[in-house]
A and B are shown apart, each in its own frame.
Chain A
Amino acid sequence: MSSNLWLLEVQRALRRAIVDGDTEPLQGVLATDAMAIDDAVGIYRNTIRWTLTRALRLSYPAVHKLVGAEFFEGVAEQFSLRHWPQSACLDDFGADFGQFLDTFGPVRDLMYLPDVARLEWAVHQALHAPRARELSLERLLQLEKDQRPAVRFSAHPSLRLIAVDTPADTIWRAVLEQDESVLACIEVTQAPRYLLVQRDPDGGAEVSALAQGEWKFLQALSCGVTLEQALQEFHHTSPGADLDHVLARHLAARRFTDFSLGTACADFAVLRTLN
């Protein structure tokens, strides 16, 4: 690098040295009387690596337990190199960890691991979601009967709906509760599981497995589809189900924070993307 250094050049060079291990651009830039460049950069690299691994461990406690501390550290390092944090709030770091595990060779035999990671990320997001006001059921009940089909709900910011292909929720719970008897009985077969995750009033995480139709109904509503369209979808996938009961249960469980009235015309495209 030239001696006339712009701050941005210096910051890019130090980033490259820390992330990619390329300290060549820093030769002549850093003073070496106290410490060799590799030693100095290494101190920062180690701190960052340790901080990111700890952030992932806090977000993925079950994955950490399943693979063990030493292995987790290695996976975390590989992940961090490819998915560097883009936010200075480390609660935002690690969103793609499940996707990363899908293609991470050494865990290929643990077919449930990426699903457990996806569930843990949903739990993590639910626990750290913003607060929201409660839906006014009184206001909802004041609607005229012919207005109700046009209701569009706003989902609670901590509500997450994820579909997985393994019994990830059973494994997740048993691992965190250290329930060896359940773990010993789990059959890891590939079958779709439709999961709901939400922060409960005590600040913990509710994780429930739903029937496919109920899950799709909630997903449609949480995407802003009108109640009428969501109900049609529900009837289609769950003929004969007690719809009033399902809706009342989820309203009571504070899945939604608000509603507005809209038309159904734009909903077909949304529903297509959900299916």
Chain B
Amino acid sequence: MSIPSKRFGVPTGAGIGLRFAHHEEVVARRPQVPWFEVHTENYFGGGTNLSFLEAIRAHYPIALHGVGISLGSAQGLDATHLERVCALVERIEPCFVSEHLSWSCVDGHYLADLLPLPMTEEALATVCENVNRMQERLRRQVLIENPSSYLRYRHSTIPEWEFLSAVAQRTDCGILCDVNNAFVSASNHGWDANAYLAALPAHAIGEIHLAGHSCRRLEGGRVIRLDDHAGPVAEEVWNLYQEVLARFGSIPTLIEWDNNIPALDVLLAEAARAARLLQTRETNVEQSLAA
């Protein structure tokens, strides 16, 4: 399959996840931010949300980040959902289209979360088949995000990083590298987050996500990390992000904040911090080239 270039003219910079609460302010203020990303499923209708998105699209690149296509479903993709995604992609002409390495649908029921897959050859074949179908229908590359998770299957045979790399290699999809997810999952499952990220194929990384998480102490004292997108990016994740930039280069980066959504300026400040790190990385590369 021939898949168009993955970058679609996105500036290398730090954007923010756009949520309904900030629609009006973004239209009125037109803040200095290189791009926005929205949740695909929030714009299937034809009302004011779509009108705001189109007004914002007139001035900024927009990425569409899906949460419902269920690429890991053993029963395949929901054709109706795929058509709705396709219609929005055609309307918005997004810089990126992304989804998750997870599943949400079985027997016609939608479980409204990103559920983990067993890392098996069968699941790998299923995901690849579904990714291929999505890319063929949209006629473009899709970025697949590494998940955060709280459970593992005993019959998994493939490390998650190898699984995701294999999906990219077999389908020519890109990878949306969520640094917070890698940190959260590594912490919860006792993995090495650095090793996880180092194992991903650099050429496939098309976008980076940064988000906040929280910690919860379970009975028995064990602490788990919850990927709740309800606060600022953790310092450990910022540190990991710098290592990711050093490894993968200046990849377009997005700040996600979905719960307890703060003032727009708070999000812009987080994006500005990411932008400074991107700039530092660029400067370091230029200096090393000049030396």
Contacts A29-B153, A31-B151, A203-B48 hold; do A86 and B111 have CB atoms under 8 A apart? no
Residues of A within 8 A of B117 (CB): 7
Beta-carbon contact of B153 and A15 below 8 Å: no
The reply on B112 being an interface residue by CB < 8 A is yes
Contacts A7-B126, A30-B152 hold; do A12 and B107 have CB atoms under 8 A apart? yes
Beta-carbon contact of A35 and B44 below 8 Å: no
Contact with A along B83-115 (1 / 0, CB 8 A): 010000000000000000001111111111101
Residues of B within 8 A of A187 (CB): none
Interface hub of A10, A12, A41, A85 (most chain B Cβ within 10 A) = A10
A38 to chain B, nearest CB (A): 10
A92 to B189 alpha-carbon distance, docked (Å): 35
Contacts A35-B150, A35-B224 hold; do A5 and B110 have CB atoms under 8 A apart? no
Query: Which of A43-51, A62-70, A229-237, A247-255 lies at the interface with chain B?
Result: A43-51
The reply on A88 being an interface residue by CB < 8 A is yes
Contacts A34-B189, A89-B84, A129-B46 hold; do A15 and B107 have CB atoms under 8 A apart? yes
Contact with A along B34-54 (1 / 0, CB 8 A): 000000010011111011000
Beta-carbon contact of B106 and A127 below 8 Å: no
Interface hub of B48, B78, B84, B110 (most chain A Cβ within 10 A) = B110
A23 to B154 alpha-carbon distance, docked (Å): 15
Residues of B within 8 A of A19 (CB): 109, 111
The reply on B277 being an interface residue by CB < 8 A is no
Contacts A7-B118, A8-B75, A43-B226 hold; do A90 and B112 have CB atoms under 8 A apart? yes
Beta-carbon contact of B51 and A84 below 8 Å: no
Contacts A5-B118, A34-B190 hold; do A85 and B126 have CB atoms under 8 A apart? no
Contacts A88-B68, A129-B46 hold; do A51 and B218 have CB atoms under 8 A apart? no
Beta-carbon contact of B45 and A31 below 8 Å: no
The chain A residues found within 8 Å of chain B, CB to CB, are 3, 5-8, 10-12, 14-15, 18-19, 28-31, 33-35, 37, 39-41, 43-44, 47-48, 51-52, 55, 84-91, 127-132, 157-158, 199, 203
- Between A and B, 26 residue pairs with Cβ closer than 8 Å are A7-B118, A8-B106, A11-B73, A11-B115, A14-B115, A15-B106, A19-B111, A31-B151, A33-B190, A34-B190, A35-B188, A43-B226, A44-B115, A44-B151, A47-B113, A51-B113, A85-B109, A85-B110, A86-B109, A86-B110, A88-B70, A88-B104, A127-B47, A127-B48, A128-B47, A203-B51
